[in-house]
Amino acid sequence: MSGQPAAVVVLAAGEGKRMRSRTPKVLHRIGGRSLLGHALAAAASLTPDHLVVVVRHQRDQVAEHIGQIAPKAVIADQDEVPGTGRAVACGLKALPVPPTGTVVVTYGDVPLLTGDTLAELVRVHEAGMGDGGPAAVTVLTAEVPDPAGYGRVLRDAAGSVTGIVEHRDADPAQRAVREINSGIYAFDAALLLDALGRIGSANDQGEMYLTDVLGIVRADGGLVQALPTTDLWQVEGVNDRVQLATLGAELNRRLVLDWMRSGVTVIDPATTWLDVDVRLAEDVTLLPGVQLLAGTEVAPGASIGPDTTLSGCQVGAGASVVRSHGSGARVEAGSKVGPFSYLRPGTVLGADGKIGAFVETKNAVIGVGSKVPHLTYVGDATIGTGTNIGAATIFVNYDGVHKDHITVGDHVRIGSDTMLVAPLTVGDGAYTAAGSVITTDVPAGALAVARGQQRNVEGWVARRRPGTSSADAAAAATTGTETTTATEATAAN
Ligand code: UD1
Ligand code: CA
């Protein structure tokens, strides 16, 4: 007995009707991971010899998902015989040889159960009563305020567990019991296999109940014990979307607490949402309204928010991202982003750089110390170091059919409202004049000017817009005298 079970069997064949969803229940997500993903992560932390998932309802979708997240898991199909006992029997039948040692059973729709709790269950199970070897069954139980619907844990006068009775099969005295069966167990494999061969379906639902195994092994003289938990969240399943949101919020609360304990400042835990796979360093600050998703990593001292969503992003030490949205972007140490910018996949902002307000970037590698401060689109571009991109510049990367690349060198000054039309290279140290449409390469050190020559038509307003406030203002500016303005005359009407 090593604490490593022979198998963990995760039950996921049920229909999940109350979700009212085309998506299989166990594929719904909280904390950026499917319910089944949470169950498999806890199960896999025990490093069992075999990880088995029992499927049936929407089988192909569930199996495909398992293939993606746990390719080594054994997918076992439950046949048409219903019930949790049948499900486990089908799961064990899918193994190459009958298991020996400990078999753990969990559910695919109980996402807050931790690997630590499962490890404790296995430890208590394998310790048994101390001398007589492992128990036959150890069941994780919980005392709940409202046990309606759950199986009840039955104990004898001495307090030993004698069995489990389902709510619908229970008499009033049994229904008064508030200790419920979580549905999570550690079994002795040989005793489980033997008992599964003997369970019937003589119950209100006509199903083969796994819970009947407890009574059978107990009657055979085996030790049946309970491990009560006080953390009710860990044994709560998702049956509908209300529970999905409730458990999602509790998972998030736990994640945020853990990060605060490890040195992250979170100003408003209630509006801070973290996926399970984000990584936050010490002295990161998260301001209100932040979502960090899909493996986002934040380095020491960086500040995110308020009101920022980052998905699959990396933020370097001391950087800040304010009121912005990023996906698949990297912001290196000391850089500043926002407010109100959109960093799309392939964005890399080099150290000590800036992406300011109302900027969109995509597939854009921006060098160390370079700045894109205002109102700009940068797509499919490489920008060197120490370069400044003037306000309202557009990297015109798309001709309606093809996307092309633009390279801007080091220490370039792109004037405001420049259109850089791809494909294009702007050499090191070059300038572009404000308002230019640049369509051909600019050599290093050159000034590129590409705009119409200005022409002033003297006296045009007096001739073509007489009697307007503009004409009055122009007249006052040229004669130096104040006259009664047309505006005042209009206002008086
Ligand atoms: C089951 C337990 C009950 C316990 C409760 C905890 C039995 C007979 N009852 O009841 O004592 O208090 O869980 O939540 O075990 N499943 C299959 N195949 C099936 C039936 C179910 O894989 O044929 C899976 C479901 O997908 C689900 C889990 O087993 O993940 C539990 O099934 P469910 O029908 O919800 O069991 P309960 O009736 O709630
Ligand atoms: Ca049921």
Which amino acid, residue 343?
L
| pLDDT exceeds cutoff 90 at 488 | no
Strands 29-30 and 33-34: antiparallel
| pLDDT exceeds cutoff 80 at 1 | no
- Atom 30 of ligand 1, residue of closest alpha carbon: 107
Q: CA-CA distance, 422 to 405, in Å (whole number)?
A: 6
| pLDDT exceeds cutoff 50 at 441 | yes
Sequence-ordered list of residues with C-beta below 8 angstroms from that of 303, at least 6 positions apart, any chain: 284, 285, 286, 287, 319, 320, 321
Cβ-count burial 190-227 (b if 16+ within 10 Å, e if not): ebbbebbeebeeebeeebbbbbbbbbbbbeeebbbbbb
* Mutation to probe ligand 1, out of 84, 153, 238 (largest number of atoms < 8 A from CB): 84
| pLDDT exceeds cutoff 50 at 489 | no
210 CA to middle of ligand 1, Å?
9
Beta-sheet strands, E only, within 48-191 = 50-55, 74-77, 102-107, 137-143, 152-155, 161-165, 179-188
Q: What is the DSSP letter of 453?
A: P
**Residue 98's closest CA among 217, 203, 196, 16?**
196
Which ligand ends up closest to the CA of 9?
Answer: 1
Report the catalytic residues: 374
Report the run of H or E that residue 440 belongs to, with start and end. none
- Atom 34 of ligand 1, residue of closest alpha carbon: 14
Average pLDDT, integer, range 160-167: 97
Per-residue tokens: 397: 């990367």
Q: Which atom of ligand 1 is nearest to the CA of 81?
A: 23
- Atom 11 of ligand 1, residue of closest alpha carbon: 151
Q: What percent of the chain has pLDDT over 70?
A: 97
pLDDT tens, residue by residue, 376-424? 999 999 999 999 999 999 999 999 999 999 999 999 999 999 999 999 9
This prediction has a pTM of 0.93
Q: Helical H runs in 35-114?
A: 35-44, 59-69, 84-93
Task: Give me the half-sphere count of Cα atoms (radius 13 Å) on the Cβ side of residue 400.
Answer: 0
Q: Which atom of ligand 1 is nearest to the CA of 110?
A: 30
192 CA to middle of ligand 1, Å?
17
pLDDT for residue 482:
52
5 CA to middle of ligand 2, Å?
26
Average pLDDT, integer, range 87-103: 97
Asked if 80 and 57 touch (Cβ cutoff 8 Å), the reply is no
Q: Which atom of ligand 1 is nearest to the CA of 181?
A: 12
- Residue 239's pLDDT band, with cuts at 50, 70 and 90, is very high
| pLDDT exceeds cutoff 90 at 491 | no
Partners of residue 425 on adjacent β-strands: 407
Which residues' Cβ are closer than 6 Å to ligand 1? 11-14, 54, 78, 82-84, 86-87, 107-109, 150-151, 164, 166, 180-183, 209-211, 237
